Structure 1
Amino acid sequence: MPAKSKAQQKAAGAALSGKRGETPKSALKGASKQMVESMSEKQLEEFMAAKTKGKPEHVRK
């Protein structure tokens, strides 16, 4: 499942960094903090792997 916005990709990247131990989990905020707990490393990689060209910065619900 690819990200729908650049903000989601950034959050997934931060969560992946926390999951791998490159960033302390205590430094994560918001969506990335939730992603690190609820998604596997493979899911996070897939989520942030999509191209960013043409994606909006944020998606409104």
Structure 2
Amino acid sequence: MPAKSKAQQMAAGAALSAKRGEKKKSELKGASKSMVKSMSEKELHDMASTERKGKAGHASKS
């Protein structure tokens, strides 16, 4: 599942590093905090490695 925005991609990267033990889970905020609980390491990797070119800063809510 590719990231829809740059912010979503960055949140997935933070969650992935926490899941791998490279970052403390207590340091996470917002979406990355829920992502680490609800997504597998592979799902987070796929989202974090999405091509960034042409992505909006934030995805629209509609």
Q: Give the TM-score, by structure 2 length.
A: 0.95
Partner of 1:24: 24
**Within 5 A, what are the aligned runs for 1:35-50?**
35-50=35-50
Partner of 1:9: 9
Question: Gapped runs of 5+ residues in structure 2?
Answer: none
Q: Structure 1 runs of 4+ off > 4 angstroms?
A: none
Other structure's SS at 1:56 match: coil
Other structure's SS at 1:26 match: helix
- Letter of the 1:60 counterpart: S
Cα shift at 1:60? 2.0
Partner of 2:56: 56
Quick one: distance in 1 between partners of 2:28 and 2:6?
17
Cα shift at 1:40? 0.4
- Letter of the 2:9 counterpart: Q
Quick one: distance in 1 between partners of 2:59 and 2:51?
16
